[in-house]
Structure 1
Amino acid sequence: SAKIRGISAHFLIKNVYGDVNFIFQQDLELCDDPQFILGGATRTDICQGALGDCWLLAAIASLTLNEKLLHRVVPHGQSFQDDYAGIFHFQFWQFGEWVDIVIDDRLPVKDGELMFVHSAEGNEFWSALIEKAYAKLNGSYEALSGGSTTEGFEDFTGGVSEMYELRKPPRDLYRIISKALERGSLLGCSIDITSTFDMEAVTFKKLVKGHAYSVTGLRQVNFRGDLERLIRIRNPWGQVEWTGAWSDNSSEWDEIDPTEREDLCLQMEDGEFWMSFKEFLRQFSRLEICNLTPDALSDDGLSHWNTIQFHGSWRRGSTAGGCRNHPNTFWINPQYKITLLEEDDDPEDDEVACSFLVALLQKDRRRYRRQGQDMHTIGFAVYEVRTEQGCQNVHLKKNFFLSHSSCARSETFINLREVSARLRLPPGEYLIVPSTFEPSKEADFVLRVFTEKQSETEELDDEISADLEEEEEITEDDIDDSFKSMFAQLAGEDMEISVHELRTILNRVNIVIIITDIVQFLSCCEVVLCNSSTLQKDGSARLGLVEFQILWNKIRKWLVIYRQFDLDKSGTMSSYEMRLAVESAGFKLNNRLNQILVARYAENEVIDFDNFICCLVKLEAMFSMSLLFL
């Protein structure tokens, strides 16, 4: 048997059975004639076991309805017979790319039965093996407990999901469904349950509560002098069908043109049925749409979204600013600009607007469950940016957000892996700001933008640059006599100060120009001498009188900046203000470099004067060195 820790032994032992009487067995040991897929992959192959991953199983069941998508996840040609090597492989979409997961054929067994997913056919194993592969992708079986069906859908298709409550549908829902079907999207609908007794309960018109239906078509027919909107629904069970208006045997079909009726491919007792769109909104509770990306569509004739994606991160102290409720830090979140160029082509809509989807997905959070972490609460806001505000390649600062309201946002901040929203805005430039609800929450994320028409997108980030002042030109005649006297007394006969002497001098001389309570900054002197070429004119790592005066002047200038951003006069500066403070000192840095500086020089999200000086000296040295090679 394999090592138990490979599938999270603690979870299996304590949370599932409470004992250790289970082993891993090969499929060949479980039955005489194991089959990978027997008679085609169907929803009856997926029976839940002891693990609470019904959300995943529902997604796998839906996948069986689309053979081409199924074969992307479960590649052809695998079996227990031909050239069998004891391994299988599956493909899943993960944050912008398809990854291949290889597993062996050993599955967890207790008392001779599979512990988790199994097929109704005792010798069929594809569903148990795909669950094991997905558990490997996420770090353990334990990580699969609890989730959203749309999460599984996205990992099986690479698409982006959106959900609509049919009790309060958008006014253009019919158009949304029509365009989704044109693009080959996967659509599902369901009826909410009010209690566990409602699960799989059948209504008097033969609709099943808590059951996943598929939406497969839309049509408009001439009926009693008006156009009637119809929607086609499929029940994966293939037997229980709607018996209300426009059902297979209803009288409404007798009142439309026979050619039109034949064109709708009316078939009896096949699990697929028509109903009026108005009735659909009354009978069903929820509609989910999984929009597929171009690489998942096999039919070149289908129209599709234009897709752009960005990979980003929230880091404590530098880019994890929280939501708009935190105005002092919200601006430090990553920012992305989208330029909507063309309005939608919709003859029935007079509004000049561009449709697009924004989807924010947090990465790898299931893997961290074993460390006691879970999904963060995430969302995003959208701001209009007028051309005259000139936001090209500039990370917008706090004042912009204090004076502008968002023009759109995610419907809510929620602790799901992905939050998405369909938006319609006039052509123009917009800023998308993804964030966690609370500041200082760390995570990596993917931001995807799907547009109907061509658009331009870019991350707003400052270009790296430095405004280095020309080297200060002073002579000994420019230096104050009292400063000269102090220097002569402390420098010794050679009239030069080494690193150790400098530290001693600055510790002994209590100069109020610096700050009375902060003497730790003296440790930066060694960094000054080792890194600042502008202070070591002869390369000796020792300071003469003029060099010491130049150092002193720099520290005085940086002290003014430090005090400016020490807002609460505590003697420390918030790491969230690091970006502005460094910029005030003449250095423009991008998000990545700001993250590195905060990680290096901040402690508990604050920066003291010592570290601030060390940081500026290091930056000055690096930019000075780079200029030598230009």
Structure 2
Amino acid sequence: MRYRDPGWDLDWDLKWEKGHCLNTLGHTKWQLSRSTLSNPSASVPKAVKRVHEIFEKPTFMKNVNGGDVKQGSLGDCWLMATLTALANVEGGIERTCVEYDTRIGIYGFVFYRDGEWIYSIIDDKLYLKSPCWDSPSMQRDLLQQIDREDVERVYRKTYQTGSKALFFAQCKDQNETWVPLLEKAYAKAHGDFASLAGGWIGEGLEDLSGGVTTELLTSDILDVDGFWDNELSKVNEEFLFGCSTGLLDGGYGERDGISEGHAYVIMEARTLKSGERLIKLRNPWGKIRKGVWEGAWADGSKEWTMEVQEELGHHFGNDSVFWINYDDFLRKYQHIDRTRLFRDPAWRCAQRWIGVEVPWKSQFNEKFQIKLSKDGPLCLVLSQLDTRYFKGLQGQYVFRIHFRIHERGRPGAEDYIVRSHGNYLMDRSVSIELPDMPAGEYSIFMSVTGERDTSLPSVEDVVKRECRKRVENDKLVQIGSAYDLAHSKGTAHLEEVARLRKLKDQQRASESRQKERRKLWERRHLNREITKKQTKKNNEKRDRRKAKAEEEAKKKAEEEAKKAAEAKKKEEEDTPQKKEAEKPKDQAVQTDAVKEEPKEGKPDEAETGSSEGSEKSSEEAKEKTASDDKSKDGAEGDPKAESKKDTADEKPVAQPAPAPPPAQKAYDSDGDSSDSPVEDWEELYSDDDMVRKPRLAPAGPPKTREERYESDEEGLPDPWNAICIVGVRVYSMDEDLEVRVVMEGGELLEGGMGKKGEADLDNAQVNAGGEREKLEADSTAEDAKIETAKMQDMAASETVAEGKEDVKECDKRENDDATKEVNEDSKSEGSVDSDRSANTDKTVDSTEYDKMDSGTSTPEVIATPEPTPLETNKELC
């Protein structure tokens, strides 16, 4: 059984009119239908056959020749020029086909894609221009009009035999098959044939040889003689060249026979005995007298002589091959793709791939570091993904990349060693080549510029569109798998960036919580101190009232004792009168009779005196009772007060009590609290605290999307979300070559882009905007901050050594304070217990709070990050 490729079967795809092997995702270049397949003028493949059915005596790579390549019905002249250039290198084409079996019909090719070699296995089925005999066609109708018995054999011999019957690329040799089979394998690697339409010779040479391409403009060549001696003269040995013209002018005409916007390949560079420098070029069209040079040294021109023809081995009439003078070449051709070949086995290659979140404004950021252990040549390439492999899902963004090489530790814009040569046309990669790079450590600063075309569909839109039919979409699965595979190169780096960002966010959150808890702790601590002061002041006021009450009670007691003494003395004076009143009645009668007349004259005065005495006694008794009640609390437990009370109780009931003085207030305020220490309480509040304004009206129903967003926002594109997968490849002859990815362990600048670098000195925007002086000022201030931080670190290290002795004591105080704080937090901040007032002199060190409320107790949060390698804020992986 012959091999049939189940995943890329051209015959099945054509008969069922799917077109997955022909057209890209979302774009139909060849419309397959009954009408187009039967229409002889329709430019679509009409049939599919195997190699043994097409060629009479098929051969595969029997005679590989660059002049054997001929372009088909696909606009892949860049690929045909690539095959032509590589065919001129010994073993160049043979190395792309690692294994094959013509009898079974299986071929295995390898291509270099995104920094690695991939394989593409195909069968031997090829597209044909004409339909099969059994299918209706105009050619069959014409042949049937001829009265012959072998009409079908003539049809096949005429329309379906040899290289001329193939729809796509072919060999000039009618039995050679390596060109169409290699083109088919390359198309399968990219998903379909339509993906090969349009491209650059340099990119094709990179894919087939694994070399490094540099874009050159002939107007930028400094030394044309040096370029000839050092590069063009080494064509097919160290370098391969492709050239084109008219690309920068947007024309598709001719320049003395040279087609504009078309790819040509340099096959040979020779210096004649006369000193004339000539270049041999080829047009991959493979057509006679079309798209070839018509000036000096063209076929049949006067410059040719028999001696020159013999010296160059040139024959007139070669298809699409011509010679041109070096000066005319530089004058007519504008664009050159130069590809360096690494044919020396001493070359070593190291590469790394990362994902970059592209900002709106591009800046240089350190992303890679390389280490060389010895001097030698160096070639460095910075490339992005080849979108040709997942055409249709490339999205809206287009990226351009640049880089600079600095000595490690010297990121200044004026300190770079070399920078990449900016490409105008090829945007897949940029490169630099150094003939002798000293050993050492170097940093690569990279800049990615993104442009967005909103007229193109995004990846999400394409997926939605293709899934709208809700049927199995094999083409979407194929291109989607290639898209996922390509972007998986940066997945590890993006995940690492996300992990570091999450860790940094957790650290920020932990620090924020610590600051907030510390602020609350300080406020509670300050509240306790103020409350203690207030309690102390209240107690002092209570003591003053108590002392004042005792003094007043003492004065009252003295006054009462004095009054009691006076009353006793008066009583003693009144005792003789009572004795006289007890004399014989007759004497009393006589006496009364004698004294009756004078007493009768003042009856009102006696009555008034007795009345006033009784009222005075009652008032004194009331005042005494009130004063005793009021001074009972203040004088309770006082022996003097108790003795006075006993003395008062021992007085005779008949004896009227002396009148006490008017009662006085013992308090100077309604409560026991003293005036608040306003200055201390104000420290609890700050003007920076956010105060929520009262809501004037209840919240209404939730707003709709139209109400939440202004009408100006409607119809705008989605937010900027550009991610570019970038890889660096370093070629050197150093066996100990190392390439590292710079991951910043501290603050992630520009979304994980790494340490910022200065803009180029010749950056027009920076120079016009005056940002150069600003950058210099910022760098000076940054240096000052670094020096200050170093001094603080030295001082902190000395303080740490002194503070180790107090660790145990702090731990003990921490536990005591934690228990105390829990008990105090359960109570109101305004209420104060009498036991708490006893600890007014006891304070808590704030460092203990930091230990108790550190973020280490929170799951998945790291309060203190681990030190990074080499004591720097960067992490190397």
- Using the size of structure 1 for normalisation, the TM-score is 0.57
Matched, 1:486 2:821: yes
User: What are the equivalent positions in structure 2 for 1:512-591 lying under 5 Å apart?
Assistant: 525-527=858-860, 555=863, 558=864, 583=868, 590-591=875-876
Identify which of 18, 23, 29 aligns with 1:16: 29
For residue 15 of structure 1, report the CA deviation from its aligned partner.
1.1
**Equivalent-residue separation in structure 1 for 2:196 and 2:443 (angstroms):** 35
Identify which of 328, 331, 355 aligns with 1:315: 355
Question: Do the aligned partners of 1:119 and 1:127 also contact (CA within 8 Å) in 2?
Answer: yes
Partner of 1:335: 369
**Equivalent-residue separation in structure 2 for 1:86 and 1:324 (angstroms):** 53
Residues 1:38 and 1:264: Cα distance change in structure 2 (over 3 Å): closer
Letter in 1 for 2:375: L
Identify which of 435, 445, 449 aligns with 2:731: 449
Partner of 2:363: 326
Identify which of 41, 45, 48 aligns with 2:72: 48
Question: Do the aligned partners of 1:239 and 1:269 also contact (CA within 8 Å) in 2?
Answer: no
**Equivalent-residue separation in structure 1 for 2:339 and 2:23 (angstroms):** 35
Identify which of 433, 444, 466 aligns with 2:445: 433
Residues 1:13 and 1:361: Cα distance change in structure 2 (over 3 Å): closer
**Equivalent-residue separation in structure 1 for 2:60 and 2:185 (angstroms):** 16
**Equivalent-residue separation in structure 1 for 2:848 and 2:198 (angstroms):** 60
Partner of 2:779: none
Partner of 2:401: 379
Secondary structure of 1:400 counterpart: coil
Query: Which deviates more, 365-374 or 85-94?
Result: 365-374
**Equivalent-residue separation in structure 2 for 1:383 and 1:292 (angstroms):** 23
Residues 1:310 and 1:377: Cα distance change in structure 2 (over 3 Å): farther
Matched, 1:88 2:146: no
**Equivalent-residue separation in structure 2 for 1:370 and 1:24 (angstroms):** 26
For residue 102 of structure 1, report the CA deviation from its aligned partner.
1.1
For residue 424 of structure 1, report the CA deviation from its aligned partner.
6.6
Structure 2 runs not aligned, ≥5 long: 1-10, 38-45, 133-164, 451-720, 747-799, 827-845
Residues 1:177 and 1:382: Cα distance change in structure 2 (over 3 Å): same
User: What are the equivalent positions in structure 2 for 1:63-78 lying under 5 Å apart?
Assistant: 63-66=86-89, 68-74=91-97, 78=101
Cα-to-partner distance string for 1:134-155 (whole Å, 9 max, x where unaligned)? 1332344454343222211112
Partner of 1:103: 122
**Equivalent-residue separation in structure 2 for 1:28 and 1:129 (angstroms):** 10
Matched, 1:187 2:241: yes
Matched, 1:119 2:170: yes
Cα-to-partner distance string for 1:82-122 (whole Å, 9 max, x where unaligned)? xx224222232335554432112345678728996243788
Matched, 1:459 2:739: yes
Question: Do the aligned partners of 2:26 and 2:392 also contact (CA within 8 Å) in 1?
Answer: no
Larger RCO, structure (CA 8 Å, separation 6 or more): 2
For residue 230 of structure 1, report the CA deviation from its aligned partner.
1.6
Question: Do the aligned partners of 1:13 and 1:19 also contact (CA within 8 Å) in 2?
Answer: no
Residues 1:174 and 1:48: Cα distance change in structure 2 (over 3 Å): same
Identify which of 392, 406, 427 aligns with 1:416: 427
For residue 156 of structure 1, report the CA deviation from its aligned partner.
1.5
Residues 1:58 and 1:461: Cα distance change in structure 2 (over 3 Å): closer
Secondary structure of 2:219 counterpart: coil
Question: Do the aligned partners of 2:100 and 2:107 also contact (CA within 8 Å) in 1?
Answer: no
Cα-to-partner distance string for 1:454-482 (whole Å, 9 max, x where unaligned)? 7974325579999xx99995464242744
For residue 411 of structure 1, report the CA deviation from its aligned partner.
1.9
User: What are the equivalent positions in structure 2 for 1:154-303 lying under 5 Å apart?
Assistant: 154-171=206-223, 172-178=226-232, 180-181=234-235, 183-192=237-246, 198=253, 201=254, 203=256, 210=262, 212-219=264-271, 221=273, 228=275, 230-235=277-282, 264-265=311-312, 267-269=314-316, 276-294=325-343
For residue 16 of structure 1, report the CA deviation from its aligned partner.
1.9
For residue 338 of structure 1, report the CA deviation from its aligned partner.
5.5
Cα-to-partner distance string for 1:219-244 (whole Å, 9 max, x where unaligned)? 3756xxxxx46233244659768676
Secondary structure of 1:68 counterpart: coil
Higher helix share: 2
- Using the size of structure 2 for normalisation, the TM-score is 0.43
Residues 1:270 and 1:184: Cα distance change in structure 2 (over 3 Å): farther
**Equivalent-residue separation in structure 1 for 2:303 and 2:22 (angstroms):** 59
**Equivalent-residue separation in structure 2 for 1:120 and 1:432 (angstroms):** 45
**Equivalent-residue separation in structure 2 for 1:418 and 1:308 (angstroms):** 19
For residue 379 of structure 1, report the CA deviation from its aligned partner.
2.8
What's the % identity of the aligned pairs?
A: 18
For residue 214 of structure 1, report the CA deviation from its aligned partner.
1.8
Cα-to-partner distance string for 1:519-576 (whole Å, 9 max, x where unaligned)? 9x98972347xxxxxxxxxxxxxxxxxxxxxxxxx84xx4xx9xxxxxxxxxxxxxxx
Residues 1:275 and 1:30: Cα distance change in structure 2 (over 3 Å): closer
Letter in 2 for 1:369: K
Letter in 1 for 2:430: V
Question: Do the aligned partners of 2:244 and 2:264 also contact (CA within 8 Å) in 1?
Answer: yes
Identify which of 58, 61, 74 aligns with 2:81: 58
Residues 1:323 and 1:357: Cα distance change in structure 2 (over 3 Å): farther
**Equivalent-residue separation in structure 1 for 2:77 and 2:186 (angstroms):** 13
Cα-to-partner distance string for 1:435-465 (whole Å, 9 max, x where unaligned)? 43249623152424368xx797432557999
Letter in 1 for 2:821: M
Question: Do the aligned partners of 2:384 and 2:724 also contact (CA within 8 Å) in 1?
Answer: no
Identify which of 98, 105, 130 aligns with 2:182: 130
Letter in 1 for 2:71: C
Residues 1:591 and 1:442: Cα distance change in structure 2 (over 3 Å): farther
**Equivalent-residue separation in structure 2 for 1:101 and 1:188 (angstroms):** 25
Cα-to-partner distance string for 1:410-451 (whole Å, 9 max, x where unaligned)? 324776322234457885755433443249623152424368
Higher strand share: 1
Secondary structure of 1:334 counterpart: strand
Secondary structure of 1:183 counterpart: coil
Structure 1 runs not aligned, ≥5 long: 223-227, 295-303, 343-354, 386-390, 492-510, 529-553, 562-580, 593-630
Residues 1:111 and 1:482: Cα distance change in structure 2 (over 3 Å): farther
Question: Do the aligned partners of 1:361 and 1:446 also contact (CA within 8 Å) in 2?
Answer: yes
CA RMSD of aligned residues (A): 5.4
Alignment length (residue pairs): 461
